Structure 1
């Protein structure tokens, strides 16, 4: 199976929207020209894709050939029976990110090219050990964000239905719905139960916003990146170039609550900050490593601080990990989410879809962050009251009313001072 670079996504997550999934990112789908004559052909097609490309060559210590025989020896009288069999088959891999979607579910996960989405705006994953449904991050400004849903929240009920044993696709189906309708979501935050009635709405995603902020060390370029979508790199390039023209002294890059997205987007953006050095390596089941490097085309070499938190996942961790390992930036905030898987998404059969984990990724120093996440250089926790204040008034994010930004600015001033001292020493 040939997957173009735009078909690679990270830390595959379901998004509670009718038009987008996989960490809010664009998805490239392999073209399909198959016309099935029986449900067994779909089952075999899914089996073949897993057999050829799944990241674990032992298939979770399962005899995958025997699995094929078992499921093809059954009789199926409908597509629905085949769908049930495929999901049962995939469960043997014990990988919540490798999943089958029927035509309706697959349609609901595809990107809306207009960038306008419909839903509540929750990025959701399934804990690999507990199987609980965990919020990676609500999309900034979405109904879920405004209601107070936070990264790491565990969804326990959806409209009165327990999520125990529920997969991501089923959760998506229950949470999504028409604009103006409501969904009730019960959440566990630690051991504290919370109840949210959220009204579905249209959501516009703008991946980058930037500003020039005054400080005693000079003007500071502040860039907030919300998601690694298909147009994120272009918007990031425009923001950096604009701030460079304004001669800012340094930068704060805000990746907090950024759930990730496209692999190539994170690589392109890393190259805007790094002149040299490794960015990320991906390793497939044959042990083949694809190593991505900087290409001497950085847009700026000015001091950089990166803000991260528990909602910074997948592509955010690639970018922040690359900048940290190459000593290009100081990371401020809290430990990131910990998602280190690469997936391909493709169509199968007549309109169904399959997401398959095909590789793991590592930071330049070889860190596997799939469970550990990335630790910031400077840890700054927000209190519950501080998080609520920033959520209620988004104009305070990236200002002196934002404690993590304030600490980041303090660190950045020190880095700017070091740079000036170095420049003065060289000129003598």
Structure 2
């Protein structure tokens, strides 16, 4: 999935938060057994072998995959970069944006993205497609960038003395990232002024869960926003639900908007917190084998639940929302999800590079194959451009009464609570 602006969290490596092609629902880390031994051709063949064994489409996009191997092993490679280019050419024949070769620095980025911890200054940046400027999307709270005073919409014009004019995002990331305790010099343009910052890098923990109480006449409502299915999302979600249960909330709004996915196990474990019994997700590989994940009778709450989704809800977000919708556990509000129903295995290669391979597709409990289709909400609420821009410009409005989709979700939830309260009890 490619959004108009790609957000990056900068640290010792950069973690892509909005690119589903890298952070798919089913990232399953496994160690390659190949020994690179400084031979670029061995790396090319290792990638070919992995695709040959694991790739979901046994026809390889109607490509003669054995002929591809012969073609690329007959070539001579003078460097690893030559091998990297050849590997990408091979993978392009599959026409699968989720099966990708990752150079060592890109593979490190992926691993940090799912770990929930970064090493850096703590900002999200984007390349403005209209101006070509590298712009601060937002500083992460309680990080060196936040404390230094960087603000959303600041334009980064220099990094350690190098002009950012014409610079690609990945190049900016490479300049800004570094070891904790070292510093980076950044010059930003804010309005008509240019400001200089010297910011010390640090170890930064990313918190994917934001939670608060929304008071209503029908009781307190627990609002939980989940931005990413990273390694620490499970613990943070559990803590949020348990805390709200102690406060006797009447119901929940779970916000999965613009959540691009992450780890498969994270979505399954979080689904089990809301669902007492039933199927969560099924995965089917190229041999037709099905792995079915179910609830384990250990849900944390049975309070009414409404989930917010949109076109940025992808992959693991679709697994969770589809599972709870199909099991009649939650109502979905917003707009159709992205439609990314494929599972990737992530393989490390001998030289520190990596490979993401589409190995399976997932189905919702009712058997829906949502790849490229997405999940339809029970209640469609489109945002006008002005409303969307207002939420983008002031993120504090997200999940409040100034957020039209949240307001609709809250109304539906309160109606559900009222209906449950008025239902006749057992004699």
Alignment check: 8 A CA contact 2:311 2:336 kept: yes
TM-score relative to the length of structure 2? 0.78
1:41 correspondence with 2:36: no
Distance 2:24 2:83 in 1: 28
97-106 vs 28-37, which moves further: 28-37
How far apart, in 2, do the equivalents of 1:182 and 1:334 lie?
39
* 1:3-82 → structure 2 map (5 Å cutoff): 16-17=8-9, 18-21=13-16, 22-23=22-23, 28-30=29-31, 32=33, 34-82=35-83
Equivalent position of 1:329 in the other structure: 330
Counting only pairs closer than 5 Å after superposition, residues 106-185 of structure 1 correspond to structure 2 as 106-111=107-112, 115-116=117-118, 121=124, 146-147=152-153, 160=166, 172-173=170-171, 177-178=175-176
CA 1:177–1:376 in structure 2 vs 1: closer, same or farther (change >3 Å)?
farther
In structure 2, the residue corresponding to 1:65 is in which secondary structure?
helix
Deviation at 1:29, TM superposition (A): 4.4
SS in structure 2 opposite 1:426?
coil
| 1:310/1:337 contact within 8 Å kept | yes
Q: Which runs of 5+ in 1 are unaligned?
A: 1-10, 125-137, 149-157, 162-169, 185-198
Number of the residue aligned with 1:271? 272
- Partner Cα separation in structure 2 for residue 147 and residue 353 of structure 1: 33
- SS state at 1:219 partner: strand
Counterpart of 2:157 in structure 1 is none
CA distance in 2, matches of 1:404, 1:304: 15
Tell me how far 1:37 sits from its aligned partner.
Answer: 4.8
SS in 1 for 2:306: strand
Shift of 1:230: 0.5
Number of residue-to-residue matches in the alignment: 372
Cα distance in structure 1, aligned partners of 2:69 and 2:408: 56
Residue in 1 that maps onto 2:221: 220
Greater alpha carbon shift after TM alignment, 398-407 vs 223-232: 398-407
- Following superposition, the deviation at residue 394 of structure 1 comes to 2.5
Determine if contact 1:314/1:340 at 8 Å carries over to the other structure: yes
Tell me the distance in 2 between the aligned counterparts of 1:392 and 1:204. Answer: 24
Cα offset, 1:98, TM superposition: 0.9
Asked if 1 retains the 8 angstrom alpha-carbon contact of 2:116 and 2:232, the reply is no
Counterpart CA distance in 2 for 1:93 and 1:182 is 42
SS at match of 1:248: coil
1:116: how far off?
A: 2.9
Q: Residue 86 and residue 76 in structure 1: after superposition, are their counterparts in 2 closer, same or farther (change >3 A)?
A: same
Q: Specify whether residues 403 and 117 from structure 1 end up closer, same or farther in structure 2 by C-alpha distance, changes over 3 A only.
A: farther
In structure 2, the CA distance between the partners of 1:350 and 1:176, relative to structure 1 (3 Å rule), is closer
Q: Distance in 1 between matches of 2:139 and 2:309?
A: 15
Distance in structure 1 (CA, Å) of the matches to 2:14 and 2:29: 14
Pairwise CA RMSD of aligned residues?
3.3
Residue 357 of structure 2 corresponds to 356
Q: How does 1:374-385 map to 2 (within 5 A)?
A: 374-385=375-386
How much does 1:397 deviate?
A: 1.8
Partners of 1:139 and 1:361 in 2: how far apart?
A: 33
Which residue does 1:240 correspond to in 2? 241
Counterpart of 1:365? Answer: 366
Instruction: Rate the CA distance shift 1:114–1:237 in 2: closer, same or farther, 3 A.
Output: closer
Between the aligned partners of 1:159 and 1:366, the Cα distance in structure 2 is 49
Normalising by structure 1, report the TM-score. 0.78
| 2:425 match | 426
Per-residue CA deviations over 1:61-89 (Å, capped at 9, x if unaligned) read 11111111111112222222211111111
